[in-house]
Structure 1
Amino acid sequence: MLSTRHGVRVLGSPDLAAFGDLVAEDPVVNVFAAHRARVTNLEPRWLGGEVWGRFDEGRLTAACHVAANLVPVQAGEDDARVFAERALTRSRTVSTILGPQAPVRAFWDVVADTWGTPRDQRWDQPHLEIDRDPLVDGDPLVRRTTLADVEVLYPACVSMYTEEVGVSPELFGGSDFYRTRVKNLVSRGWSFARIEDGRVVFKAEVASLSPAAAQVQGVWVDPELRGTGLGARGMAAVVEAVRRDLAPVVSLYVNDYNVAARRAYDRVGFRQTATFATVMF
């Protein structure tokens, strides 16, 4: 039902068209929200949470995805503060706040004193895109993985996640839960890797997909082989495959301090189009 304060209410399947128009205002930055809407129809039981919409004279002007990930969608700083005030009326259920830097910071400023000490805060994460052929040749040994690769692929996925996030993904639901996620990505054709002699030396996955864009996450190079060019050539191969088969634009976001990764993405031809931020609990 519509909140009488600030014009905020929970969205549902009747709002799909309006939500689609909203995410289309910046379809690459909003690819996560577009993907979630496509696979859940904005139904809370499939979302594992809710999507809140803010309205102005009956028009949807901003939204906020509130599940394991809390993500502002086309939200200005005032919108973010309004969503944060609503969030304070309930217990925190989210494990991550992420999205464009300005609304994430505005949201966090409101809830910080109540939601507890985060495990990490990353306030400067360049959001990168590429909508053309890579500037370097793709690695011909990078391919889509198959279910037969999962036993070899899974340890690399755990290593990547642990290195990136700081804790093992197996802490969140156990190894079976995370292994199922890996298998799902493989089954969709969203997992790419170079595997040599039973060893993953490069990998990456598509995490979110819409007709406009694909967002890549989980990029990883075997630590013993970093600095050899595997990352740039591997990402070039992923870009080629994704743009050929899935979506015209490939996006990702990277920590500002990850100089090696940023250098590799620059070599491939990615350009920065926004700045993201992430708060992790």
Structure 2
Amino acid sequence: MKFFSGTGSRLVPPHAVPSGALDQLMATHQVTSAFVAENVGNFRAAPTPQTAPVVGVTRRGLGLPGRRSQPMELTGACWVGSNVVPVALDDDGVKLVADHLLTARSPRASFFGPQREVLGLWESVKHRWSDPFAVREDQPFLVASEQSLSQPHPEVRLARRSDFAKVLPASAAMFTEEVGYAPDTSKESSYVLRVAHLVTKARTYVVMRENKVVFKADIGAAAGQICQIQGVWVAPEYRGQGLAASFMTSVVEDVRHRWPTVSLYVNSYNLPALKTYHRAGFRQVSSFATVLF
């Protein structure tokens, strides 16, 4: 494994990444690092605390593992679990993390996150990687920062545990439309457990009509004051009626009581969704990219 770049940047393995330095890095980039921040928090809060699968990047002169006289500072980091999610990697950091990924040779479900870092990682590893299922190069990253042009809809509410059997097929339909293949919905699959977790933790919003889910949205990631909405879906028969912006306005208004900053990202070619989010008060602040396997 390559630990130093030619310019003096160094890869820091997970066991040596200082918690304080990682927290500071994520706080500096908190709006776009909610996924990593939440998952790092989950590892730390486990009954038996575990080391989160995060590699760091530092530069010569910013401290090295084991040298207590000079606390290490991180210039970047990357979550390297089943998903690969970079945080503030510069060009040297991208090269070091790419080398780490190629050396580890572990299968990954996706790369996603800030556009420049994700596409840089993919460009660096694709010659020795399996072919992707899809590459989404341009995904506007939006934050709800303006007044909504739509009124909140009174039917939007949090899903209850008793709704799970109805939420699951709606979630699966959304996944299939977005990703291009159906998720594993067999009992105890990771997908089913994830849907159940979001419902149980009051992180799924729905509109129910005739005992069916006709709208859903999940709080897919949340840390500190920041959350990220994912899994937005409207039943086909209710599309094109101007309802989605009203539904999303209700979600944002309620979510802000728990997480004041509400974000999401969307494919650039999904013009109806972009129009909906604009009406609901979202504005672009950055760009994401995703590579799916």
For normalisation by structure 1, the TM-score amounts to 0.92
- Does 1:271 find its partner at 2:283? yes
Could you list the per-position Cα deviations for residues 48-95 of structure 1 after superposition, in whole angstroms to 9, with x for gaps in the alignment?
971100112221110010011101111123311211012111213211
What residue number does 2:115 align with? 101
For residue 72 of structure 1, what is the amino acid of its counterpart? P
How far apart, in 1, do the equivalents of 2:131 and 2:205 lie? 35
Q: After superposition, where does 1:127-166 map in structure 2 within 5 Å?
A: 127-131=141-145, 133-166=147-180
Q: CA deviation at 1:26?
A: 1.8
- Does 1:27 find its partner at 2:30? yes
Q: Conserved in 1, the CA contact under 8 Å of 2:40 and 2:52?
A: no
For residue 68 of structure 1, what is the amino acid of its counterpart? S
What residue number does 1:52 align with? 55
Could you list the per-position Cα deviations for residues 210-261 of structure 1 after superposition, in whole angstroms to 9, with x for gaps in the alignment?
11211000000001110112211111111011002x2111100000111110
Is the helix fraction higher in 1 or 2? Answer: 1
For residue 135 of structure 2, what is the amino acid of its counterpart? Q
- Does 1:168 find its partner at 2:168? no
| Residue among 77, 88, 111 paired with 1:63 | 77
> How has the CA–CA distance of structure 1 residues 271 and 119 changed in structure 2, closer, same or farther, with 3 Å as cutoff?
same
What residue number does 2:68 align with? none
How far apart, in 2, do the equivalents of 1:263 and 1:63 lie? 33
Q: CA deviation at 1:40?
A: 1.1
> How has the CA–CA distance of structure 1 residues 217 and 18 changed in structure 2, closer, same or farther, with 3 Å as cutoff?
same
For normalisation by structure 2, the TM-score amounts to 0.88
For residue 167 of structure 1, what is the amino acid of its counterpart? Y
- Does 1:185 find its partner at 2:188? no
Q: Conserved in 2, the CA contact under 8 Å of 1:52 and 1:65?
A: yes
Q: Conserved in 2, the CA contact under 8 Å of 1:12 and 1:41?
A: no
| Residue among 79, 96, 99 paired with 1:85 | 99
What residue number does 1:7 align with? 10
For residue 37 of structure 1, what is the amino acid of its counterpart? V
| Residue among 40, 44, 57 paired with 1:41 | 44
Unaligned runs of 5+ in 1: none
Q: CA deviation at 1:4?
A: 5.5
For residue 216 of structure 1, what is the amino acid of its counterpart? I
What residue number does 1:194 align with? 207
How far apart, in 2, do the equivalents of 1:135 and 1:60 lie? 41
Q: Conserved in 1, the CA contact under 8 Å of 2:138 and 2:268?
A: yes
Q: CA deviation at 1:41?
A: 2.2
Across the aligned residues of Structure 1 and Structure 2, the Cα RMSD in angstroms comes to 2.3
How many residues of Structure 1 are paired with residues of Structure 2 in the alignment? 277
How far apart, in 2, do the equivalents of 1:150 and 1:104 lie? 34
Q: Conserved in 2, the CA contact under 8 Å of 1:53 and 1:63?
A: yes
Q: Which moved more, 1:183-192 or 1:85-94?
A: 85-94
For residue 199 of structure 2, what is the amino acid of its counterpart? V
How far apart, in 2, do the equivalents of 1:236 and 1:114 lie? 44
Q: Which moved more, 1:46-55 or 1:228-237?
A: 46-55
Same amino acid, percent of matched pairs: 36
Q: After superposition, where does 1:220-235 map in structure 2 within 5 Å?
A: 220-235=233-248
- Does 1:239 find its partner at 2:252? yes
Q: CA deviation at 1:132?
A: 5.5
Q: CA deviation at 1:133?
A: 5.0
